[in-house]
A and B are shown apart, each in its own frame.
Chain A
Amino acid sequence: MIGNYLKVAARNLLKYRLYSGINVLGLTLGLSLVLMILLYLQFEYSYDSWHAQKERLYRVSILSHGEDAEGEETHVFTPPIGPDMQAEFPEVQAYTRFSTEQPAYLSYKEEALQVDEIHYADTSFFTLFNFQWLSGDAETALARPNTVVLTVPLARRLFGSEDPMGKLVFLDNQQQFEVTGLTAAPPANSHLQFEALLSFSTLYQDSERYMGWNGGNQYITYLLLAENIIPTQLEEKLPTFMWRHINEDLKPYGVQLEARLQPLPDIHLWHDPDSTALRTRLLAFGGIGLLILIIAGVNFVNLATARASWRAREVGVRKVLGASRGALIRQFMGEALLLVLIATGLAFLFTEAFAPVYGKLIGKTFVPSGIFDAQTALALIGVLVMVSLLAGWYPAFFVSRLQAVKALKGGATGKNKQGLRNALLVIQFAISAGLIACTLVIFQQLQYTLHKRLGFEQEGIVVLPLVGKEVQSKQAALKQELLSIQGVEGVAALSEVPGQGLTRNGYIPEGHKESLLFHAIDVDENFLDVFGLELARGRFFGRARPADEQAVLINESLARQLNWAEPIGKKIIRNGEHPVIGVAKDFHFASLHHSIGPLIITQQPWNGRYHRLALKARTGNWERTLSDIRSRWEAVLPQAPFDFQFLDASIAQQYENERRFQEAFLCFSILSILIALMGVLGLSALAIQQRTKEVGIRKVMGASAANIIALFSKGFLRMVGIAMGIGFPLAWYFMQRWLQGYAYSNGIDWWVFPLAGALTLLVAFLTVALRAIGVATKNPVEALRYE
């Protein structure tokens, strides 16, 4: 029986090549996209899920309740909270601390490398987390001060073929560390990333470090709870704990800190700075995946029902020969399943082949075979069963219900079925038109973001990171050298680069009793000129004016926030009094997701050292200028590796995820439209085939080719019109919500929907017309002879 079905199915597939081609190809494409999206979703959901004790691991986060009622949540805090919690709560079995990254140089013999992901970590780090350990003793490697664990890629760069174990490396040319362990690089789906881990105990030997409760917020604390502990029960005890250790002292400042526990597997999706955007992306991709599945499924159902009338005779015959409805349903379902299986097989090959391209698009490395974990496999099976059911049920149930006698007469093309087919087609086009519109809006917003004036110069500015004490201390000399290069107009030293967000500190402005959080940037007197900033009032730091050392500038937003009509001369307190000498016009020092916040510009960097130099040059030959910069750098700092970034590029870099998102979205929507068009192609081909005789008669009666094309296009185009009426409002709604994620946007431009509409109509028309032209230009006698 099954053999018989398979034979019929296979012969059918081969006989109606266009139909089966469209069906299989459309489904393959659809499933590949769904697979790829699943792969991506799986990747994002798999973050930190591979730690054996993940259920018991938590990150401590701190929510500050200050005068500005809504506090900011951060997981970067002071060092003692972990040890104190372990000491006071039996629920806390272990803790480990991880310092925020501070780029540094590691050197061994002649080789010096800048390492961005270098952190201090407790020795318990490797017992709490399951990073792949390759050499050394995981439990004790970071116990002693001045020990370091390297990842293999870094070790290889630093040591070449030498065995790094037990060797001594220098940190910023000052401190010596012994290599006590080697691990593999952390997997991409780990929110903890590191290249080198220094022992945390080293920090306690550094007198410059403040390791107490109040200050020096640079550390992230992870807790391993004892078994069967409900985290909320522990959280309930935290307020008194926090009161004892810090909140009592903070009371006079009006700030209270609330400690919370973030489950490890939730961190990536819920507690990262990028989490909100990520969830939007996941939702968008999940949604597109579902839509693509619907489009591909609709194709399948549509083509199958359209063709079902052709097979009505077969159904009639089989019924007369004794086929029960069940048998027929099984047959049609089986055929659908066969197609789905073929498409699935192809989709896997397709996905495998395109994984690298896709990875580039999304910015991740995928291993397609990685999809075979239990959860994803289950999801996939679910998807396949759904598609088969979706694709098989309509023809299966409806054709099998036909009365044998009617089926044999071939009178099975009912009007109502046409209705369903049209409704499905409308859904398809509504999705396609909506996706086109969304793509345009996303494109428009990204263009806006990339080209919006930020209030400062971005072009022609080169940023040189100053890593390590030694380099930072030679900043002034380096600056002098760089200024002598031809074309260099100015060099400024600064703590952070505007455009990518700035740190916040607590300040007490004049007239306030409690401290408020403001963004802060520490710069020298050249900052204004190099970045082309404008002042609203007052003046900037003067050259060689020691009196200005304590002075600060504020931005317009801060002046507004403090209600200072005349800010010049007011005082702001943090480690002493700072007079305001000027107000800078607002500029976008963070990404356009954020509105411009309050900002203080000081001349006093932390520890007295600036971390970057920004160099502005007007030059026709960047290659030459850069090599000049390099040679000056090497002259002043022969030990330190040279590194630079163009400011405009690094600002654009922060929209990298969005650019990727846009590209992926564009690809997905183009492909989904392609799949929908394949369906239309198939349907119009069937319609044309069925009406060949009609076309012949019309032509004999004098219809022109254009008349015939219009005849076939009209119906389809009307449906596309209806579809746009459904798709566009939905697209508008979702895009409106998406744009709310940006503090600055243009709204949705008026031309988006007309353009999307024109595009949709055009491609739909071309698809139908191409097929219709063939019939329309044929000799009518030939058409009639078909009968």
Chain B
Amino acid sequence: MIRLRDIERYYRNGLRKAWVLNQINLDIKEGEFVTVMGPSGAGKSTLLNIIGMLEEPSGGEYFFFDEPVHKFNERRRSDLHKAYMGFVFQAYHLIDDLTVYENIETPLLYRNVKGKERKSMVAEILDRFNIVAKKGLFPEQLSGGQQQLVGVARAVISKPRLLLADEPTGNLHTKQGDQIMELFQELNEEGVTIIQVTHSERNASFGTRVIELVDGNVRSDEQIRQPAGQGDAPKGVPNGK
């Protein structure tokens, strides 16, 4: 699904370059649940943003379903992003002026989903995440855990094939964090590829593979569990597109 070759990212600091990512080579297959770990400033978030097409690498090649993303213009990148990805943030990033319902609905608006279908999709996910009672509330009226629940619901409503999460439990209690992680596991079992950035070993244990970044380099990369459904035949997953 994802193939990174010699991906690098640096910032110019006067004449010197400050390297954030250094020649990253990485392959991620569909169905994996990857955890990126490492100390602060190791480049974890940058890597996630590059994969999520929110940031451009300074060099290297990025293939997404074999498409050369590094050659695309902003519009095509944004189309790919829109078609395949969902994002979850540490700080939830819900829109303050929208209710729970409207926040969850927003990605569908940008994907031109028709009103009726939109309604049923939002209703379904509210039900699944057990937040039906909260749908009329505004973000500030929710606890952190509930907000992140809404954040995840919003990320997955458009049925993304890839879910990217940047410290999704960083602002949560352990118990709330576990709840989110279990949800991720469930989504992963349903076939959603997940890449999360975290400091927490505990969270990493929910995934199938752990990549450790230090100073912009991959220090270790190990598979800790067989990805869900890896044994089964891929269910008509397009290999090229």
Max chain B Cβ within 10 angstroms of own Cβ: one of A316, A318, A322: A322
Kindly report which residue of chain B lies nearest to residue A2, judged by CB atoms.
B109
Known: A1-B109, A4-B102. A317 touches B78 (CB 8 A): no
Cβ proximity bits A296-340 to B, threshold 8 Å, 1 near / 0 not = 000000000000000001101111111110010000000000000
Residues of the A chain whose Cβ atoms lie less than 8 Å from the Cβ of B106: 4, 318, 321
Known: A320-B54, A405-B54. A4 touches B93 (CB 8 A): no
Residues of the B chain whose Cβ atoms lie less than 8 Å from the Cβ of A327: 110
A403 touches B (CB below 8 Å): yes
Kindly report which residue of chain B lies nearest to residue A317, judged by CB atoms.
B93
A-B contact count (CB 8 A): 58
What's the Cα separation between A327 and B98 when bound, in Å? 17
Residues of the B chain whose Cβ atoms lie less than 8 Å from the Cβ of A1: 109
A737 touches B (CB below 8 Å): no
B107 touches A (CB below 8 Å): yes
Q: Determine how close the nearest CB of chain A comes to the CB of B43; give it in whole angstroms.
A: 13
Residues of the A chain whose Cβ atoms lie less than 8 Å from the Cβ of B78: 322, 324
Residues of the B chain whose Cβ atoms lie less than 8 Å from the Cβ of A322: 78, 81-82, 107, 110-111, 158
Q: In the bound complex, do residue A323 and residue B95 qualify as a contact, i.e. CB atoms below 8 Å apart?
A: no
What's the Cα separation between A12 and B95 when bound, in Å? 11
Q: In the bound complex, do residue A314 and residue B55 qualify as a contact, i.e. CB atoms below 8 Å apart?
A: no
Cβ proximity bits B73-99 to A, threshold 8 Å, 1 near / 0 not = 001001001100001010101111110
Residues of the B chain whose Cβ atoms lie less than 8 Å from the Cβ of A403: 54-55
Q: In the bound complex, do residue A12 and residue B97 qualify as a contact, i.e. CB atoms below 8 Å apart?
A: yes
Q: Determine how close the nearest CB of chain B comes to the CB of A35; give it in whole angstroms.
A: 32
What's the Cα separation between A405 and B87 when bound, in Å? 12
Kindly report which residue of chain A lies nearest to residue B56, judged by CB atoms.
A403
What's the Cα separation between A323 and B78 when bound, in Å? 9
Partner of A8, one of B55, B89, B95: B95
Q: In the bound complex, do residue A8 and residue B158 qualify as a contact, i.e. CB atoms below 8 Å apart?
A: no
Max chain B Cβ within 10 angstroms of own Cβ: one of A8, A318, A321, A323: A321
B105 touches A (CB below 8 Å): yes
What's the Cα separation between A327 and B105 when bound, in Å? 15
Residues of the B chain whose Cβ atoms lie less than 8 Å from the Cβ of A785: none
Max chain B Cβ within 10 angstroms of own Cβ: one of A1, A8, A317: A317
Residues of the B chain whose Cβ atoms lie less than 8 Å from the Cβ of A321: 87, 106-107, 110, 154
What's the Cα separation between A493 and B87 when bound, in Å? 97
Residues of the A chain whose Cβ atoms lie less than 8 Å from the Cβ of B55: 403, 405
A11 touches B (CB below 8 Å): yes
What's the Cα separation between A405 and B81 when bound, in Å? 14
What's the Cα separation between A590 and B202 when bound, in Å? 98
Q: List B residues 39-85 near A (Cβ within 8 Å).
A: 49, 52, 54-55, 75, 78, 81-82
Number of interface residues of A (CB under 8 A): 23
Cβ proximity bits A391-423 to B, threshold 8 Å, 1 near / 0 not = 000000000000111001000000000000000
Residues of the B chain whose Cβ atoms lie less than 8 Å from the Cβ of A324: 75, 78, 110
Q: In the bound complex, do residue A7 and residue B102 qualify as a contact, i.e. CB atoms below 8 Å apart?
A: yes
A109 touches B (CB below 8 Å): no
Cβ proximity bits A1-20 to B, threshold 8 Å, 1 near / 0 not = 10010011001100100000
Residues of the A chain whose Cβ atoms lie less than 8 Å from the Cβ of B82: 322
Residues of the A chain whose Cβ atoms lie less than 8 Å from the Cβ of B75: 324
Known: A322-B81, A327-B110. A317 touches B94 (CB 8 A): yes
Residues of the A chain whose Cβ atoms lie less than 8 Å from the Cβ of B102: 4, 7
Max chain A Cβ within 10 angstroms of own Cβ: one of B49, B81, B107, B110: B110
Q: Determine how close the nearest CB of chain A comes to the CB of B79; give it in whole angstroms.
A: 9
Residues of the A chain whose Cβ atoms lie less than 8 Å from the Cβ of B87: 320-321
What's the Cα separation between A127 and B82 when bound, in Å? 72
What's the Cα separation between A1 and B108 when bound, in Å? 9
Residues of the A chain whose Cβ atoms lie less than 8 Å from the Cβ of B94: 317
Residues of the B chain whose Cβ atoms lie less than 8 Å from the Cβ of A316: 93
Residues of the B chain whose Cβ atoms lie less than 8 Å from the Cβ of A313: 93
Residues of the A chain whose Cβ atoms lie less than 8 Å from the Cβ of B109: 1, 4
Q: Determine how close the nearest CB of chain B comes to the CB of A420; give it in whole angstroms.
A: 24
What's the Cα separation between A8 and B52 when bound, in Å? 27
Residues of the B chain whose Cβ atoms lie less than 8 Å from the Cβ of A404: 54
Q: Determine how close the nearest CB of chain B comes to the CB of A281; give it in whole angstroms.
A: 47
Residues of the B chain whose Cβ atoms lie less than 8 Å from the Cβ of A4: 98, 102, 105-106, 109
Partner of B98, one of A8, A319, A320: A8
Q: In the bound complex, do residue B95 and residue A317 qualify as a contact, i.e. CB atoms below 8 Å apart?
A: yes
Since A4-B98, A317-B93 are in contact, a sample of 19 more A-B pairs with Cβ atoms closer than 8 Å, ordered by chain A residue number, is A1-B109, A4-B102, A4-B105, A7-B97, A8-B98, A314-B95, A314-B97, A317-B95, A318-B106, A318-B110, A321-B154, A322-B82, A322-B107, A322-B110, A322-B111, A324-B78, A403-B54, A405-B54, A408-B91
23 residue pairs of the A-B complex, CB under 8 angstroms, read: A4-B105, A7-B97, A8-B98, A15-B97, A314-B95, A314-B97, A316-B93, A317-B93, A317-B95, A318-B110, A320-B93, A321-B87, A321-B106, A321-B110, A321-B154, A322-B82, A322-B111, A322-B158, A324-B78, A324-B110, A403-B55, A405-B54, A408-B93
8 cross-chain pairs, A with B, having the tightest CB-CB distances, nearest first: A322-B110, A322-B82, A11-B97, A321-B107, A317-B93, A320-B87, A404-B54, A405-B54
